[in-house]
Chains A and B, each alone.
Chain A
Amino acid sequence: MIRKTVANVKDALQGVEDGMTFMLGGFGLSGIPENAISELVHLNVKKLTCISNNAGVDDFGLGRLLKKKQIDKMISSYVGENDEFESQMLSEELEVELIPQGTLAARCQAAQQGYPAMYTPAGYGTEVSQFKETREFDGKMYVLEKAFKADFAFVKAWKGDKAGNLIFKGTARNFNPLMCGAAKVTVAEVEELVEPGELDPNQIHIPGIFVQRIFEGKDYEKRIEKRTVRKK
């Protein structure tokens, strides 16, 4: 067993510097690496490029980094819930690259699995495919999209073991597994960290080989963006 544990979030983020590119898991506020984001706010690293499907809300998730102007560039598919984001984008303080959600997933997965690029039909004939190579296969047009390159991937899982094996829960899985091993260093925070052998190998979503550092996170808020319920 190769041990991946670090003592805390501070140790997990060793080596983080200004100007780096980060991948951050999560869809909306579901499955975001809350502890890593808090530490990035605390470290106050700046000029960051962040690859994340969404940009949080004004006071939670990546919105906290945006508020402190730590982010120079966002690569996302949907950023609708954040006023701070919108004002920084319209004033051109923040550079934004909007890309289709499936393309975002595929570019993470390509980085994880060693593909330099892949073809997707998404965005063909739209402004997304401008200045990109396109090609026809069997009568249909595709756009060549490149694998991401990132310094750190910050992911959040439900359970993990000290060997770095991860299990995700519900729709909090989303982009998290695809970012594991897609950056130079993958930092996984988990709600529950267990001893090797306690997780059933049949149930593991991401093997520890894709994870360099793992720690048990604290004080998860797990905020709900849109609470929709039926009356009892």
Chain B
Amino acid sequence: MLDKNGIAQRIAKEVKDGYYVNLGIGIPTLVANFVRDDIEVEFQSENGILGMGPFPLEGEEDADLINAGKQTITALPGASFFDSALSFGMIRGQHVDLTILGAMEVAENGDIANWKIPGKMVKGMGGAMDLVASAENIIVAMMHTNKAGKSKLLKKCTLPLTGVACVTKIVTNLAVIEVTKEGFKLLERAPGVSVEEITEATEGKLIVEGDIPEMKL
């Protein structure tokens, strides 16, 4: 079974040379720590920077330089700043190659819910609805089950949707899963996790074809 860093490490393998990547808050943010350093990748933060770098050194933080999670960051050589319309223009216009975000629920048709729990959590969708409505390559990073042990990979989402039929891949603490027209297709198992355990933890339709390899990190 993987921890949050393990999930991020596995997703980092999906980041290819020449990609512009948008990372959501939470586990997705960790992905930047695991991307190979022999490839050229730029991270976009939708509040207005391409070429986002690591956190600043102590004492060098700048209130005018933050990411979408409102954390202080740095700008790498080659970085650029832009307004929010241009930022979502590059998202809507599909210039960003890969979007990685967290979710509360994903349905077997690729629907995603990650912004609202009615009556409990009403913080807003931020840029998530724009990202999932436009991106062609959307990877969800999340735990396979919620804190109550219930599956987050469902036949149909129960929470208000963020986007419809948009998720392409899911990486959880248990598995790598592709979203296909027929349902969730199991691609890889996390180290030490059996196909049975994954089936047990998946409420939606899980397609298992042949031997499922253990993922390599």
Contacts and interface: CB of A to CB of B under 8 A. Distances in A.
A178 to B, nearest CB: 5
B133 A121 contact: yes
Interface residues of B, number: 51
A99 B164 CA distance: 16
A53 B68 CA distance: 12
B173 interface: no
B9 interface: no
Contact of B130 (A27, A90, A100, A225): A100
Interface string A168-205: 11111111111000000000000000000000000001
B81 A122 contact: no
A86 interface: yes
A173 B124 contact: no
Interface stretch (A3-11, A41-49, A76-84): A76-84
Q: How large is the interface on A (under 10, 10 to 19, 20 to 34, 35 or more residues)?
A: 35 or more
A101 B85 contact: no
A109 B83 CA distance: 11
A94 to B, nearest CB: 12
Given A126-B161, A224-B61, A230-B54, A173 B81 contact: yes
26 contacts: A28-B70, A29-B63, A30-B47, A30-B66, A77-B125, A77-B126, A100-B127, A100-B130, A101-B125, A102-B46, A102-B88, A102-B130, A105-B87, A120-B133, A122-B130, A125-B111, A125-B161, A126-B164, A127-B161, A128-B129, A171-B47, A173-B48, A174-B47, A222-B63, A228-B73, A229-B58
